[in-house]
Structure 1
Amino acid sequence: MSAAEYNAIVKKYIASKFFGELKTQLEVLVDAISSVSGKYVWYNGYKDEEDNEAVIEHLERVFAYELYYQWRKLMDDNSSDLTLNGEISKEVYDDIILKQTTFYFPDMVLHKGQENKDKQMIVCEIKRKHSFNPNKFKKDIEKLSWYIDEKRFSAPFKCGVFILVGYHLGECWSKNYLDTIREINITSECTKNIICMYYEANKGSSNKLVISTLYDLINNPNALTDKLKK
């Protein structure tokens, strides 16, 4: 199956779940991710034997910076009034009652400024397969759930997106991952507004993008969009 055919399936899935400007912006994100070539997905030219976390962070940034570039290009082509920022600070309530706050730095945000409550569109967290495990998945999903929760966030995003690079969601999804998600205080409605994406781009083969809402991933793993072609 070609990259264009995968994108058509993904966009059909998005159209079944989201509407209006959010649907349009998610489709732009799909095109941007699909434009990232394999050399940015499988780049392994950095080694630090003393600090494995630094290696992983560096490798994730190789993909993230190219995604930022491709996303910005498409936004400029479509004359978007939104702004794409990388690792900008967002203030989240750690405790709803005590109003204690913590600053987080999501990998990417699509919005119209920090204070515009009506135009907080998409917030993204990115992981490569080398750094992917149940606890890190739980942490990123938990952060995304905060970003879209109006009780914790004064200007909540409309959608949270978790992007997994080089590792199939269906392959990694197991009881361990499901159990970690159940430990999070997250509503069913919230899981419908969090999208999990898997992206693979290899030399000599088609780019493959697969997506599912967290709700579908939890309740029906077979609903992954690469199954829709059957």
Structure 2
Amino acid sequence: MWYTYNRRKNIDIVSDDMQLFMKSLFNSILSVKKSFLFWTINNQRISKKNYSYVERAFAYELYFQWNMDNTICGSPMYMLRKKYRINAEIRKEFMEKLNTRSNYGYPDLVLHKGNGSGKNYIVCEIKRKETVEVDNPSLVKDINKLGFFLRDDIHVKDSIVNWNGYKYGVFLLIGKYFQGGIVEIGEKDIEDYIDVSKVKVKPELQERIICAIYNGAKLKYSNLKDLIEANSKTKTNKSI
């Protein structure tokens, strides 16, 4: 099931203790202007590398907007760094390998206390729609990466206390924007690229991975567990 985010309402699939944290992120996403979804290079063929530039520009602007957001305590996040810290592409070195060739993780954005405190709230990965279309496995790869960050049963080399996994992971798919109008991205842009056979996230963590889509105007969201169940039902119905 998909929901459309409303600033005035709670986020249906997020626990009460994490409502303000997630609303802070969602409000910040809506504060990113649609111009950050726009990309053109003189009618040249746009490559996967070019799409990543848009993702990075969007992520940097989201980093700024999130630091300016005052949802949690009525003060901008950058003034609350003793309690909460937002970091971009921070390196985490796990003693166990990620679903990649190394044990290094560089999430796009994290909200935590930092300094090895073990207080970890939200970890976020961002992909542009066209990146996923060009490189289908990149979506599941990011989701598996988020699932790894949620786990409590791993160890981080630079943590000075016992590692506590992040409370929630957020996979954000952003859509392209063209001058003259918004190009809609919909639920299918995530659903169609989730290869259930390659999802390695532990079942008990799947509810804590939020999948969201943003087109410069609306923000829709669901969770991985619901999407996997919907995917499985669709395949079952097709086989009948």
TM-score w.r.t. the length of structure 2 is 0.74
CA distance in 2, matches of 1:147, 1:165: 22
CA contact (8 A) 2:112 2:121 kept: yes
User: How far does residue 77 in structure 1 lie from its aligned partner after superposition?
Assistant: 2.5
Pairwise CA distance, 1:107? 0.5
Taking the aligned partners of 1:115 and 1:32, their CA distance within structure 2 comes to 25
Question: Alpha carbon RMSD of aligned pairs, Å?
Answer: 2.8
> Corresponding residue for 2:222?
212
SS at match of 1:116: coil
User: 1:129 — aligned with what?
Assistant: 129
Structure 1 spans left out of the alignment, 5+ residues: 1-5, 202-206, 222-230
The answer for the alignment partner of 1:172 in structure 2 is 189
Alpha-carbon spacing, 1:26–1:39, altered in 2? closer, same or farther (3 Å): same
Q: Mark the CA change 1:130 to 1:69 in structure 2 (over 3 Å): closer, same or farther.
A: same
**Contact 1:91 1:101 survives alignment (8 Å):** no
Evaluate the alpha carbon distance shift between residue 173 and residue 199 of structure 1 in structure 2; reply closer, same or farther with a 3 A threshold: closer
User: Which secondary structure does the structure 1 equivalent of 2:127 belong to?
Assistant: strand
Q: In structure 2, which of residues 59, 63, 70 is the aligned counterpart of residue 68 of structure 1?
A: 63
Mapping of 1:1-230 within 5 angstroms?
6-8=4-6, 11-12=9-10, 14-20=11-17, 22-45=18-41, 52-75=47-70, 76-77=75-76, 79-80=79-80, 81-92=83-94, 93-94=96-97, 102-117=103-118, 119-133=119-133, 134-153=136-155, 154-166=163-175, 168-174=185-191, 177-178=193-194, 180-201=195-216, 207-220=217-230
Q: Deviations over 1:26-47 (max 9, x none)?
A: 0011110001111011233589
Q: Which segments of 5 or more consecutive residues in structure 2 lack a partner in the other structure?
A: 156-162, 176-183, 232-240
What is the identity, as a one-letter code, of the residue corresponding to 2:203?
S
In structure 2, C-alpha distance between the alignment counterparts of 1:23 and 1:70, rounded to whole Å: 18
Distance 1:142 1:60 in 2: 19
Residue 18 of structure 1 and its aligned partner are, at CA, apart by 1.4
Q: In 2 relative to 1, CA 216–10 (structure 1 residues): closer, same or farther, beyond 3 Å?
A: farther
Structure 1 residues 16 and 162: CA distance shift in structure 2, 3 A: closer
Q: Does the 8 Å contact 1:15/1:23 carry over to 2? A: no
CA contact (8 A) 2:150 2:168 kept: yes
What's 2:160 paired with?
none
Percent identity over paired residues: 30
After the TM superposition, which parts of structure 1 deviate over 6 Å for at least 4 consecutive aligned residues? 46-49
Change (3 A) 1:130 1:72: same
Amino acid at match of 1:142: N
